[in-house]
Amino acid sequence: MNKSDTAIAVMGAGLIGKRHIEHSAKLGCLCAIVDPDENAKQLAQHHGAAYFRSVTELIDSGLAQGVIVATPTQYHVDNTTALVKAGIPALIEKPIADKLDEAKQLVTLAADNKVPLMVGHHRRFNPLIQAAKAKIEEGVIGNLVAANAMCWLYKPDDYFDVPWRQQPGAGPLLTNLIHDIDLMRYFCGDVDSVQMLQSNSTRNHNVEDTAALLIRFKNNTVATMSVSDTIVAPWSWEMTANENPVYPNTNQSCYVLGGTHGSLAIPDMQHWHNAEDRGWYEPMHSDTIPTEALDPLIVQIEHFCNVIEGKAEPLVSGLEGLKTLQVLDAAYEAARTGSTVFVTGT
């Protein structure tokens, strides 16, 4: 699809920002790059895009119809607030913010000003997820009863040479599992309550290296979710979904969703069921649910362009990003207090 009619700026030309820049340039919609680091200027020149050092310069230029905010998380709210006040739609990288109250204020401001906000939980745009969601809604596994999600990885030790990666907020819960939590919310709906245990006893950093969550959804589905950046294992979205070529693929599944009439493994897309009568004495069969391979980051940018043009409502709105962050906030509180924490309305 050619989206060259829409002018998108990318703010923050770091690890993920560079991928947004590449994709936007290929789609023909990149108009500007914003980053105080002068290296970004060369990148802008390379793509024939304008270069700005700050959000203020970008807004003053009047060039962008929409902005992808891929700065470090602690700057998401300030930068996006400026965009919203200028009436410019934003796609904010996940997590929407590092503080829940600031995220709430931003979502309210955008709603009051009728400026579309999206949050970069891009996995929802993966055709695997869209196919799984459609099958669940068709009822192929019956009523959802339980789900299990694993995000077990081993981050190489030099990953932690960057000091902030050893600090609170940079652990695998907010960096990685937030994506899995967002998908479980997409499949199972709003969350009722959360329990969590966490540990830092392997890496001994000032942040969790491992955590296990129990979640009850409002529809009574219960989920177990676990994350670790210190386990050598093949079961994580990163190593199974083939989304990013930097990760070798293990051809395993990292999610299992169980219902009254069958189960679904993702991303191997095996749908397990009995042929006729249900029961543990009956043979189990599996069929593969067909999907196509598309880069969800590209699909997300195309969708953002459609949102800017008023042709679509955000698939992952600011409110959705806020609700996902709220689950993590509740999980931290549950671990701190050793109790079940209820997720109250946003």
Interface with ligand NAD by CB under 6 A: which residues?
Answer: 11-17, 34-37, 70-73, 75, 79, 93-94, 120, 122
**Per-residue b/e over 271-293, b at no fewer than 16 CB within 10 Å?**
bebeeeeeeeeeeeeeeebebee
Q: Which is nearer to ligand NAD, 15 or 232 (CB)?
A: 15
CB of 74 to ligand NAD, least distance (A): 9
Least distance between ligand NAD and beta carbon 24 (Å): 15
Shortest Å distance, C-beta 38 to ligand NAD: 10
**What phi and psi, each to the nearest 5 degrees, are found at residue 198?**
-140, 165
Q: How far is the CB of 121 from ligand NAD (least distance, A)?
A: 7
Residue 246 or 275 with smaller CB distance to ligand NAD: 246
Sequence letter at residue 28: G
Residue 25 vs 141, nearer CB to ligand NAD: 25
Question: Six-digit token pair at 207?
Answer: 């942040």
Which residue, judged by CB position, is nearest to ligand NAD in the bound state? 14
Nearer to ligand NAD, 217 or 332 (CB): 332
> 39 or 337: whose CB is closer to ligand NAD?
39
Taking the complex as a whole, the smallest distance from the CB of residue 273 to ligand NAD amounts, in Å, to 33
Q: Coil, strand, or helix at residue 152?
A: strand
What is the 3-class SS of 199-247, one letter each residue? ECCCCCCCCCCEEEEEEEECCCCEEEEEEECECCCCCCHHHHCCCCCCC
Nearer to ligand NAD, 11 or 49 (CB): 11
Question: Are the beta carbons of 295 and 282 closer than 8 angstroms?
Answer: no
Q: Which residues contact 235 (CB under 8 A, 6 or more apart)?
A: 150, 151, 152, 250, 252, 253, 254
CB 165, min distance to ligand NAD, A: 10
The Cα 33–Cα 56 span in angstroms is: 13
